[in-house]
Structure 1
Amino acid sequence: MARTAVILVTSEFDALWKETAMKFETGCRHYIGHKPCRYGQLCEDCPNAEPAGARVLIIKTGALGDVLRTTSLLPAIHRAHPGARVAWLTAPAAAPLLIGNDLVHEILPFDHAAYPALAPRRFDLLISLDKEPGPAGLAELVHAGARRGFGLSPHGAPYPLNAAAEPFFALGLSDELKFEKNEKSYHQLIAEAVELEYLGERPALHLTDVEREAGRDILRQAGWDGAQPVIGINTGAGLEFANKMMSTAAILDLIDALSAETRGLFIALLGGPNETGKNNNIARASRLRAVNTGTGHSLRLFAGLVSQCGVVIAGDTLAMHMAIALERPVAALFGPTTPREIDLFGRGRKFMSHMDCAPCYRKSCDARHTCMDLFSAADIARAAVELLNGSD
């Protein structure tokens, strides 16, 4: 009986197929190919068919904070190319930062399948913003009408693909230019490098209401009463550069200063897996005036937690970039990295180390007192409370 039903269905399908002059509109901006499009119907006589605009490929794979802040470029792309279809090649770990952004139509993982997935395709514009050999080399292989940003030379070294990218590229070759001369934000620099007009747009991180509520749930589980002002202290940083965040002792001094500055705060310790022990130690040593909110959250759950902070205190880290994208006020601490390229968009304060060796971008440091431990805890606490009260 089951076999007869299958034969009947197959027969009907075959008959329908023979009667239909099937079209596959791969050039339609809504066409996906491996599943129904947003309108859920076949291409033949579809009233919603719409030619795709310019096909743009962005190659920006890391680091996580850099991927997020590069989203400020998207409005400029769509202004210059109305109706563009934007594909973004990024590291699988960074892909969650792009989910929900309507200005990105396709998120491609930078993995072993990246080249086979891109080889047959043709793009009108390639924007390549990584200098690492893998993504920069892939930029050389992609078929594109215009190439902007960075590529990989026959000698195996990165180079600027277009003349407009040369000033941005040069910042990586000269400490004087990067640390002393440059006065432009990263957002303006990348826009100019790829020949687009930047109008002051901030990066964007789109969270659902469910994800924001999940952030509130984490705080409630940690003891938040739902009414206390929340100050988040991000206690860690990536491992690329040394000393991008304060030591345990310096963070405890900061907690003391915050407690002295105002009463009734809920101080949330933020961090990733590398900060598990550090955050537990800080919470205990602070006599639970600061609370560990967990260090094993997914990227988007961590963003949901950041979104619920009234102020975020962080070094030059992903947490800082998330807070900026989520329009949360930031007290941003800069030691080994330069603050010159960071735009807080009028919602924060920058604290810069005054050590002679900073910024340095070193991977290790043997200084007895590091640049990140010489900030005034009282000054940071005062600024954080002022930001919390909206007086910045």
Structure 2
Amino acid sequence: MKQKFLIIRFSSIGDIVFTTPVIRCLRKRYADAEIHFLTKPENKIIVESNPNIDKVLLLKKSLFETISELKKEHYTAVIDLHKNLRTFAIKQLLFTKNYSFNKLNLEKEILIHFHYNLLPQNLHITERNLVAVAALGVEDDGEGMDYFIAPQHKVDIEKLGLVNGNFIAWVIGAKHFTKVLPTEKVIESIRLFQQKIPDRKVVLLGGREDVAMAENIVSNFTESVVNTCGKFNLSESVSILNQSKIVISGDTGLLHIAVALGKPVVAIFGSTVPEFGVFPKYGKFKIQPSAIIEMKDLDCRPCTKFGRNSCPKGHFLCMKGIESQRIFAAVKNILNDLEK
């Protein structure tokens, strides 16, 4: 009987991208198997163009309706890369072998509340995910994360007045407030870019929820800043990002997609920290210069695993304390490295 695997990851954008090494390496190990992926409907776009996935299944409002659909597939094994109560129920009711990974939630909570770091050093989430399938004989090929852009989502950036490889893509938004660099910091940084690297346009990337912030930023400039927020879907935004020279982003999904595509990045961390396993990690064929900017010695961070809607201390120094000069210097150093 043909082997059939179900991989589960409901959300979020970055975490789904972190599963892609498992998908690819599983395909390499079981070339003739069927690989299915279960996620939320809004995240279908992230995986639907992945050639290593045979079928994308969508989580329904009724969990039992979802399980009923899954039972018809007769899976050889379930690979749970989300690991919550819903995935526990799915695994129990499918009555098949299942594999999961250590989310290290206790270690994260100890770091947040006691600032004592018991997390594995320099171990990326993608590597923890791959541990889940080691028992299946799946090995890490070292090629890092994947993201596949469907042909219909490729954007002609010339229509935006842009030249391929000659602009800076800045992801200005995030799901949580404490992952977003304040507007004034973005404006200050872009002014530095204008003064010192005037040949580089800046393209603002984000969703509909970032439109007001983007319009505020653009109002301070002329043609040097292009606002795409709310005008493109996720994969179209990724297409624009993929044609940039360098990407600036907070700890959000587009940061990790940029790394998956082999783009040089400046990663800005606020209330979360790279030690959670979310630092830029490139595949062996996509290695690029990168930089991490954070308020390293601020004793109140990390204050959360995911991000918050407000600063619990009220000062938001993890983002407000980041100087625009640091961002410019990181960008300039990467540009210099790329020109060597």
Q: Identify whether the pair has TM-score above 0.5, normalized to the shorter chain.
A: yes
User: What letter matches 2:303 in structure 1?
Assistant: C
Query: How does the TM-score come out when normalised to structure 2?
Result: 0.85
Q: Is the 8 A contact 1:233 1:313 kept in 2?
A: yes
2:318 to 371, 375, 383: 371
Counterparts of 1:105-144 in structure 2, within 5 Å, are: 105-111=54-60, 112=62, 113-144=65-96
Q: Does 1:197 align with 2:139?
A: yes
1:100 aligned residue: 49
Q: Does 1:339 align with 2:284?
A: no
1:359 aligned residue: 302
1:129: Cα distance to partner? 1.7
Q: Is the 8 A contact 1:258 1:382 kept in 2?
A: no
Cα root mean square deviation, aligned: 2.4
Distance 1:123 1:208 in 2: 28
2:260 aligned residue: 325
Distance 1:179 1:199 in 2: 29
1:275 to 210, 225, 242: 210
Deviations 1:258-284 (A, max 9, x none): 223312111111111111110001000
Q: Is the 8 A contact 1:330 1:349 kept in 2?
A: yes
Distance 1:288 1:277 in 2: 18
Q: Is the 8 A contact 1:191 1:198 kept in 2?
A: yes
- Taking a change above 3 Å as real, the CA distance of residues 367 and 299 of structure 1, as seen in their structure-2 partners, is same
Q: How many residues get paired?
A: 318
Q: Is the 8 A contact 1:234 1:315 kept in 2?
A: yes
Question: What runs of 5+ residues in structure 1 fail to find an aligned partner?
Answer: 1-26, 28-51, 150-164
User: What letter matches 2:14 in structure 1?
Assistant: G
- Higher RCO (C-alpha under 8 Å, 6+ residues apart): 2
2:98 aligned residue: 147
Q: Is the 8 A contact 2:153 2:239 kept in 1?
A: yes
Distance 1:94 1:228 in 2: 28
**Greater radius of gyration (CA):** 1
Distance 1:260 1:277 in 2: 25
Deviations 1:9-58 (A, max 9, x none): xxxxxxxxxxxxxxxxxx6xxxxxxxxxxxxxxxxxxxxxxxx3x21110
The alignment-based identity, stated in percent, is 22
1:174: Cα distance to partner? 3.6
- Taking a change above 3 Å as real, the CA distance of residues 278 and 173 of structure 1, as seen in their structure-2 partners, is closer
1:227: Cα distance to partner? 6.3
User: What letter matches 1:204 in structure 2?
Assistant: D
Distance 2:107 2:231 in 1: 35
Specify the SS of the correspondent of 2:76. Answer: strand
1:294: Cα distance to partner? 3.3
1:216 aligned residue: 157
1:80 aligned residue: 29
Q: Is the 8 A contact 1:261 1:382 kept in 2?
A: no
Question: What runs of 5+ residues in structure 2 fail to find an aligned partner?
Answer: none
User: What letter matches 1:124 in structure 2?
Assistant: T
1:172: Cα distance to partner? 4.7
Distance 2:7 2:202 in 1: 38
User: What letter matches 1:375 in structure 2?
Assistant: I
User: What letter matches 1:192 in structure 2?
Assistant: V
